[in-house]
Amino acid sequence: MSEVEKTIKKTNVGLKELLIQLQELTNLTFSGSLQITIGNHPNWSLWLRLGRLSWSDGGTNSKERWQRHLGLFVHDLTDSKLKEIGSTDNINDRCSILVQLLNQGLLERQQLTELTLSITHEVLFDLIQSSHINGNCLSYEIIPDDLSNKHTWILPMIEVIPTLKQSLKTWQQWQNQGLVGCSPNLFPVIKQRELISKENLSDTQLSLISLIDGTENVRSLALKTGLDMVSVMLFLLPLAKLKAIAFSKVSSHHKIGVCHLGADNKPKTLIACVDDSPGVCRALEKIISTQGFGFVGIQEPLKAIPSFLKNKPDLIFLDLVMPITNGYELCTQLRKTPSLKDVPVVILTGKDGLVDRMRAKMVGANDFLSKPVKVAEFMKVLNKHLTQSSQKEST
Express each pLDDT in 303-355 by its tens digit: 888 889 888 899 999 988 887 778 888 888 898 888 898 899 998 887 666 76
Residue 160 has pLDDT above 90, yes or no: yes
Distance CA 289, CA 65 (A): 19
Q: Do 285 and 162 share a domain, yes or no? A: no
Of residues 129 and 252, the one with the higher pLDDT is 129
Confidence class of residue 262 from pLDDT cuts 50, 70 and 90? Answer: very low
Distance CA 63, CA 56 (A): 13
Q: Do 316 and 215 share a domain, yes or no? A: no
* Alpha carbon 190 to chain centroid, angstroms: 20
Last residue of a domain, one of 217, 248, 279: 248
CA nearest neighbour of 61 among 115, 134, 142, 125: 125
Distances (CA, A) of 283 to 186, 189, 223, 287, 378: 26, 27, 17, 7, 11
| pLDDT value for 119 | 93
Identify whether the C-beta of residue 366 lies closer than 8 Å to the C-beta of residue 336. Answer: no
Q: Do 27 and 161 share a domain, yes or no? A: yes
Distance CA 300, CA 304 (A): 7
Q: Are strands 270-274 and 294-298 parallel, antiparallel or unpaired?
A: parallel
Distances (CA, A) of 177 to 9, 121, 135, 235, 269: 35, 19, 20, 12, 37
Cβ neighbourhood burial of 275 (10 Å; 0-12, 13-18, 19+): buried
Torsional sign, CA 376, 381, 382, 387: positive
Q: Is 47 helix (H, G, I), strand (E, B) or coil?
A: strand
Residues of the domain holding 39: 8-176
Q: Are strands 270-274 and 315-319 parallel, antiparallel or unpaired?
A: parallel
Whether residue 261 lies inside any domain: the answer is no
Greatest alpha-carbon pair distance for the chain in Å reads: 75
| pLDDT value for 267 | 44
Identify whether the C-beta of residue 28 lies closer than 8 Å to the C-beta of residue 4. Answer: yes
CA nearest neighbour of 11 among 35, 45, 33: 35
37 phi and psi angles, rounded to 5 deg: -120, 130
Cα angle 176, 198, 295; round to 5: 100
Q: Do 197 and 143 share a domain, yes or no? A: no
104 phi and psi angles, rounded to 5 deg: -85, -5
Q: Mean of the per-residue pLDDT values for the chain?
A: 82
Q: What is the pLDDT of residues 182-227, one digit of tens each?
A: 999 999 998 888 888 877 788 778 878 888 888 889 998 888 788 8
Q: Do 48 and 84 share a domain, yes or no? A: yes
Whether residue 256 lies inside any domain: the answer is no
The alpha helices in 140-228, defined as continuous H runs, are: 160-176, 203-211, 218-225
CATH code for position 378:
3.40.50.2300
Whole-number CA gyration radius for the chain = 24
Q: Do 244 and 275 share a domain, yes or no? A: no
Q: Is the pTM of this model over 0.85?
A: no
| pLDDT value for 247 | 92
Count of domains for the chain = 3
Q: Do 72 and 133 share a domain, yes or no? A: yes
Q: Do 37 and 168 share a domain, yes or no? A: yes
Whether residue 254 lies inside any domain: the answer is no
The residues, ordered by sequence, that sit 6+ positions from 332 with a Cβ below 8 Å of its Cβ are 363, 364
Of residues 93 and 319, the one with the higher pLDDT is 319
